[in-house]
Amino acid sequence: MVIKRDREREKGESSASMAATAAKGKVWEEEQPDTGMDELLAVLGYKVRTSDMPDVAQKLEQLEMAMGTTMEDGITHLGSDTVHYNPSDLSGWVQSMLSELNTASPSSNFDAISNQTAGSFSTTMLDFSNAKQLGDQCKIYSDDSEYDLRAIPGGAIYRSDKESDRGSGIKRMKSSLLEPEFDDSLTVATAAAAESARPVVLVDSQEAGVRLVHTLMACAEAVQQENLKLADALVKHVGLLAVSQAGAMRKVATYFAEALARRIYKIYPQDSLETYSDILQMHFYETCPYLKFAHFTANQGILEAFAGANRVHVIDFSLKQGMQWPALMQALALRPGGPPAFRLTGIGPPQPDNTDALQQVGWKLAQLAVTIGVEFEFHGFVANSLADLDASMLEIRPSEVEAVAVNSVFELHRLLARPGAIEKVLTSIKAMNPKIVTFAEQEANHNGAHFLDRFNEALHYYSTMFDSLESSGLTQPNGQDLVMSEVYLGRQICNVVACEGTDRVERHETLTQWRTRMDSAGFDPVHLGSNAFKQASMLLALFAGGDGYRVVENDGCLMLGWHTCPLIATSAWQLAAGDS
Partner 1 sequence: MVVPLNTWILISNFKLAYNMLRRPDGTFNRHLAEFLDRKVPANANPVDGVFSFDVVIDRGTSLLSRIYRPASADGGVPSIADLEKPVGSDIVPVIIFFHGGSFAHSSANSAIYDTLCRRLVGNCNAVVVSVNYRRAPEDRYPCAYIDGWAALKWVNSRPWLQSPKDSKVHIYLAGDSSGGNIAHNVALRAVESGIEVLGNVLLNPMFGGETRTESEKRLDGKYFVTLQDRDWYWRAFLPEGEDRDHPACNPFGPKGISLEGVKFPRSLVAVAGLDLVQDWQLAYAEGLKRAGLEVNLLYLEKATIGFYLLPNNDHFYTVMDEISNFVSSNLCSVLLLGFLVLPFLSAASGNLSKGAFETASDWEMCEMIAAGVFYALHCQISVKGGAILR
Choice between 125 and 246, CB closer to partner 1: 246
8 A C-beta contact, residue 94 and residue 5: no
Among 9, 15, 51, 57, binds partner 1 (CB under 8 A): 57
Among 320, 553, 569, 570, binds partner 1 (CB under 8 A): 553
Residue 571 is a binding residue for partner 1 (CB under 8 A)? no
**Site for partner 1, residues 371 to 410, rule: CB under 8 A:** none
Choice between 78 and 437, CB closer to partner 1: 78
Residue 547 is a binding residue for partner 1 (CB under 8 A)? yes
Question: Which SS3 state, helix, strand or coil, does residue 197 take?
Answer: coil
Environment class of residue 379 by beta-carbon count within 10 Å: exposed (0-12), middle (13-18) or buried (19+)? middle
Q: Which of the 8 DSSP states describes residue 574? A: E
Q: Looking at 27-35, 103-111, 330-338, 385-393, which segment touches partner 1 (CB under 8 A)? A: 27-35
Residue 41 is a binding residue for partner 1 (CB under 8 A)? yes
- Mask: binding to partner 1, 267-286, rule CB under 8 A, as x and -? --------------------
Give φ, ψ of 181 to 5 degrees: -90, -5
Among 4, 49, 84, 446, binds partner 1 (CB under 8 A): 84
Q: Please, which residues have CB within 8 angstroms of residue 455's CB and are 6 or more apart in sequence?
A: 217, 220, 256, 496, 497
Residue 191 is a binding residue for partner 1 (CB under 8 A)? no
Q: With CA atoms as reference, report the closest residue to 305 among 571, 84, 526.
A: 526
Residue 483 is a binding residue for partner 1 (CB under 8 A)? no
Residue 103 is a binding residue for partner 1 (CB under 8 A)? no
**Site for partner 1, residues 209 to 238, rule: CB under 8 A:** 210-211, 213-214, 217
**Site for partner 1, residues 288 to 307, rule: CB under 8 A:** none
User: What is the closest distance, in whole angstroms, from the C-beta atom of residue 562 to partner 1 in the complex?
Assistant: 10
User: What is the closest distance, in whole angstroms, from the C-beta atom of residue 407 to partner 1 in the complex?
Assistant: 24
8 A C-beta contact, residue 315 and residue 349: no
Q: Are strands 403-409 and 376-382 parallel, antiparallel or unpaired?
A: unpaired
Q: Looking at 120-128, 304-312, 367-375, 453-461, which segment touches partner 1 (CB under 8 A)? A: 453-461
CA–CA distances in Å: residue 397 to residues 312, 344, 381, 433, 434: 10, 13, 17, 9, 11
Choice between 137 and 564, CB closer to partner 1: 564
Residue 563 is a binding residue for partner 1 (CB under 8 A)? yes
Among 17, 19, 24, 164, binds partner 1 (CB under 8 A): 24
Q: How many residues bind partner 1 (CB under 8 A)?
A: 71
b/e for 84-123, b at 16 or more Cβ within 10 A?
bbbebbbbbbbbbbbbbbeeeebbeebeebbeebeebbee
**Site for partner 1, residues 128 to 157, rule: CB under 8 A:** none
Choice between 54 and 322, CB closer to partner 1: 54
CA dihedral angle for residue 562, residue 564, residue 568, residue 570, rounded to 10 degrees: 130
Choice between 249 and 484, CB closer to partner 1: 249
**Site for partner 1, residues 525 to 544, rule: CB under 8 A:** 530, 533-534, 537-538
List of long-range contacts for 388-391, beta carbons under 8 Å, 24+ apart: 389/347, 389/425, 389/428, 390/428, 390/431, 391/428, 391/429, 391/431, 391/432
b/e for 209-240, b at 16 or more Cβ within 10 A?
beebbebbbbbbbbbeeeeeeebbebbebbee
User: What is the closest distance, in whole angstroms, from the C-beta atom of residue 508 to partner 1 in the complex?
Assistant: 16
Choice between 67 and 383, CB closer to partner 1: 67
Among 127, 140, 199, 522, binds partner 1 (CB under 8 A): 199
Residue 90 is a binding residue for partner 1 (CB under 8 A)? yes
Residue 208 is a binding residue for partner 1 (CB under 8 A)? no
Among 282, 548, 567, 573, binds partner 1 (CB under 8 A): 548
